[in-house]
């Protein structure tokens, strides 16, 4: 006999996306201006409801594509937020995701949402429990970045060693010794020197590198440990 679920309460399920970007110096998040009540006009994460014919992963990808025009970007489920009164209008449970976007990509921000890149350290207060979501996402990003090459998702394909150090300093909100950082990265042997230079930083220029994913995967299969 089929179970009758009509006696049980029904709740709404949403997704909220914490979208990180890096401009070469600062870690940023992409926020939107809420265009409906409650709290219309306040800053918010980009979100939406999970459709009846899609998974939460599919919903999160759809929401991201709607805002940025991008597909196939790094996206990871973070946590489910179920506080009873987290939203004043209805019982809404939200599954949060964080995404990593290279700002230099051809991003087509949907003007409908009045979206803006904001430095993480200067971000305004957000609606509902979105501040908590951002805090949890930053903690997860730091854990991932300390034990894997996730940070390269935020960089262009070719980057200088200074770009890479700037990125990790932005993620962890601390300064690293240049010599020690460069030595640690070089010892991992997962970058390829393109033998091309970025001439904007100095007269001598700085070599451009790229992340060698194939070499990294081979090293991982042999027990290699990435650690910053």
- Per-residue pLDDT tens digits for 23-44: 999 999 999 999 899 999 999 9
The answer, yes or no, to whether residue 111 has pLDDT greater than 70, is yes
> Which residue range is the domain that position 81 belongs to?
12-147
- Let me know if residue 5 belongs to a domain: no
How does pLDDT run across 157-203, given as a tens digit for each residue?
999 999 999 999 999 999 999 999 999 999 999 999 999 999 887 77
HEC-encoded secondary structure of the chain: CCCCCCCCCCCEEEEEEEEEEECCCCEEEEEEECCCCCCCCCEECEEEECCCCCCHHHHHHHHHHHHHCCCCCEEEEEEEECCCCCCCCCCEEEEEEEEEEECCCCCCCCHHHCCEEEEHHHCCCCCCCHHHHHHHHHHHHHHHHHHCHHHHHHCCCCECHHHHHHHHHHHHCCCCCHHHHHHHHHHHCCEEEEEEEECCCCCCCEEEEEECHHHHHHHHHCCCCCCC
Structure pTM? 0.94
Residue finishing a domain among 130, 147, 164 = 147
Q: What is the average pLDDT across 134-143?
A: 98
- Domain total in the chain: 2
């Amino acid at each position: 006999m089929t179970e009758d679920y009509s006696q049980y309460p029904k709740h709404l399920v949403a997704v909220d996306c914490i979208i990180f970007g890096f401009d070469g110096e600062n870690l940023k998040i992409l926020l939107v201006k809420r265009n409906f009540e409650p709290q219309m006009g306040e800053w918010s994460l980009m979100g939406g409801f999970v459709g009846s014919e899609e998974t939460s992963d599919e919903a999160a990808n759809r929401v991201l594509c709607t805002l940025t025009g991008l597909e196939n970007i790094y996206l990871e489920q973070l946590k489910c937020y179920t506080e009873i009164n987290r939203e004043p209008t209805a019982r809404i449970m939200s599954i949060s995701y964080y995404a990593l976007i290279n700002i230099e990509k051809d991003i087509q921000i949907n003007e409908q949402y009045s979206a803006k890149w904001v430095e993480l350290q200067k971000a305004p207060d957000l609606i509902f429990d979105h501040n908590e979501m951002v805090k949890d996402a930053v903690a997860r990003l730091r854990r991932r970045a300390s034990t894997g090459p996730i940070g390269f998702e935020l960089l262009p394909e070719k980057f200088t060693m200074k770009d890479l150090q700037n990125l990790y300093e932005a993620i962890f909100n601390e300064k690293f010794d240049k010599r020690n950082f460069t030595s640690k990265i070089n010892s991992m042997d997962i970058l390829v020197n393109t033998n091309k230079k970025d001439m904007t930083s100095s007269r001598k220029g700085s070599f451009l590198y790229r992340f060698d994913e194939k070499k990294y995967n081979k090293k991982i299969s042999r027990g290699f440990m990435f650690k910053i």
